[in-house]
Amino acid sequence: MKKSIEEICNRQVERELYSSLLYMAMASWTETRGYSGIADWLFEQAEEEKEHMLKFVRYINGRGGHAILPALKQPPVEYNDIKTLFDEVLKHEQYISASINDIVELSFKEKDYSTHNWIQWFVSEQLEEEASVQAIIDKLNLVGDHNMYIFDRDILSMRTGGDSGGGE
Ligand code: FEO
């Protein structure tokens, strides 16, 4: 494996691992605020990022390179609110997509077609991740100032919780 490819893949090891840490920090913040559903989603996302990082580690080592596990900067501890938190998740995923695209570009330039082929999985994965975060943001926008989404869910649980006959 060429040095330039090894280096850019190691850069991605650091970025995927940081993504995992960032989502865990966000999960921890949301959990302490009582948002257990959102915390679960973020913890799960953090696990996925760890898996992404490991894919890079195994790929680098498998191609005769040396995967380096980095020291990481501390992610933010506090977040303003759920909406801005998800805006930050989307922004972070767009940054990761751009970084994956750098690998696509460099592997092509370096004629490393194995890496070019291997990295396509991440291209699709990024597409999916951005779409799923965007879907959450769209839902959050529905919530608006009037908590319509929560209200909608409440209504649903009231319907499924009782018999159709009504009564006390
Ligand atoms: Fe592994 Fe969400 O980027």
pLDDT confidence of residue 162: 47
Nearest CA to ligand 1 atom 1: 49
Ligand 1 centroid, distance to 92 Cα (angstroms)? 9
- CB of 116 within 6 A of ligand 1: the answer is no
Q: Over the chain, what HEC string results?
A: CCHHHHHHHHHHHHHHHHHHHHHHHHHHHHHHCCCHHHHHHHHHHHHHHHHHHHHHHHHHHHCCCCCCCCCCCCCCCCCCCHHHHHHHHHHHHHHHHHHHHHHHHHHHHCCCHHHHHHCHHHHHHHHHHHHHHHHHHHHHHHHHHHCHHHHHHHHHHHHHHCCCCCCC
pLDDT confidence of residue 100: 98
Ligand 1 centroid, distance to 16 Cα (angstroms)? 6
**88 and 55 Cβ atoms separated by less than 8 Å:** no
Nearest CA to ligand 1 atom 2: 93
- CB of 6 within 6 A of ligand 1: the answer is no
**pTM for the model:** 0.86
Give per-residue pLDDT as tens, 21-40: 999 999 999 999 988 888 99
- CB of 133 within 6 A of ligand 1: the answer is no
Report the CATH fold assignment for 3-156. Ferritin (1.20.1260)
The more confidently predicted of residues 141 and 68 is 68
- CB of 96 within 6 A of ligand 1: the answer is yes
Ligand 1 centroid, distance to 46 Cα (angstroms)? 9
Backbone angles phi, psi at 2, to 5 degrees: -65, 150
Give per-residue pLDDT as tens, 52-88: 999 999 999 999 999 999 999 999 999 999 999 999 9
pLDDT at 140 over 60: yes
**2 and 112 Cβ atoms separated by less than 8 Å:** yes
